[in-house]
Amino acid sequence: MQLPARSIFILHDIYSTFNGVAFKNFQIFIPSLAGAWVKELFAYTFLLKQWYGKHIVLPETEDGIALVYDQWSSHNNYYHWLVDCLPRLLVLREKFPNHLLLLPKSAAGFIKTTAAIFGFDRFFFIDKDEILKAHKFIIPQHTAHSLFHDPVLIKRVREEIINGLGKAVKQPSRRLYLSRSRQPKRRLMNEEAFVEALAAYNFEVIHFEDFSFEQQVALMQQAEVVVGVHGANMTNILFMQPSCTVVELLNIHSVNPLYFRLSSYLELPYYALPCEQVEDKAFGEDVGIMPAANDYHLVADLGKMERILVSIFG
């Protein structure tokens, strides 16, 4: 695969919203969006309303500010920060190392930690009701379409985080089931029986909520096989060692193959377990490209899971 070079845009005297929408004179700078189709969500009255927000101005003493996050990653979205934003930081670092970064004031610890690993430890924070005006914005282009990845850059992200945290191990041996039982969406409704079936193969039940970012990376470095329901928790397969195995539980009525792609780029054998959904009106109607079914709880077929386990372990 040969990938095109990425551009770094330098814009003068423009504004940015809390969620990374860059604009000027009621025109949105499209490369600041998660995708061109997102423009419709921020058109018309959205830009008009921005003038009623609290305006702050970047000090002239700063040589501009860099924007690497977008509307998907602005709310501490684990997947989109690690997979969409960090490759953009690599692009930015080529020309603007340790430049001042714009971040939401609510930025989680993993965002600051990973930015620092990449050599960026200077931050300017913006709150959700604020608009930043800067004399210079530096915006690296997205490195792939949303839910896709640049194989070269995603491997570099993996290597730099593992090396930066010093979490590399020689021989992975743990078998992990990543539970979503504490999450409001996409829980496995027959999890008790599912965990019992996995126990016969010496799987541990893991709740990532109990672990720091550094501990999560270390866990995944130790993992020989990981089983989990589609969701942000599966982003941590990024830190597995090559040739280790991923099993993803997917809603058969709302299939999103992003972790299949990620596994492929990282040389991880991948299995998909199709699951039936448990419809719940609490999750509302379809929104844009994301069907409501994406959030429904699931029921796993234990027979199919057993066949996958036999295929893996013999």
Coil/strand/helix, residue 73: coil
pLDDT band (50, 70, 90) for residue 129? confident
Q: Which residues of 185-197 are buried (b: 16+ CB within 10 A; e: fewer)?
A: ebbbbbbeebbeb
Strand order of the β-sheet with 27-28 is 27-28, 22-24, 14-16, 130-134, 54-57
209-246 pLDDT, tens digit each: 999 999 999 999 999 999 999 999 999 999 999 999 99
43-95 pLDDT, tens digit each: 777 777 777 778 999 999 999 999 999 999 999 999 999 999 999 999 999 99
Q: Chain-wide mean pLDDT for the chain?
A: 92
Integer Cα distance of 269 and 40 in angstroms = 38
Does residue 184 surpass a pLDDT of 80? yes
Which amino acid, one-letter code, is at 131? I
Integer Cα distance of 29 and 39 in angstroms = 9
Q: State residue 292's pLDDT score.
A: 67
Q: State residue 207's pLDDT score.
A: 98
pLDDT band (50, 70, 90) for residue 1? low
Longest dimension (CA), the chain: 65
pLDDT band (50, 70, 90) for residue 307? very high
Q: State residue 234's pLDDT score.
A: 97
Lowest mean pLDDT among 81-95, 122-136, 160-174, 213-227: 160-174
What mean pLDDT is predicted for residues 14-36? 92
Q: Are 231 and 187 in contact (CB under 8 A)?
A: no
Lowest mean pLDDT among 22-31, 151-160, 291-300: 291-300
Model pTM?
0.92
Does residue 289 surpass a pLDDT of 80? no
Half-sphere exposure in the Cβ direction for 285 (13 Å, CA): 2
Does residue 287 surpass a pLDDT of 60? no
Lowest mean pLDDT among 54-63, 129-138, 260-269, 278-287: 278-287
Strand order of the β-sheet with 65-66 is 8-11, 137-140, 65-66, 101-104, 123-126
Integer Cα distance of 49 and 131 in angstroms = 11
Q: State residue 77's pLDDT score.
A: 95
Q: State residue 314's pLDDT score.
A: 87
Integer Cα distance of 225 and 228 in angstroms = 10
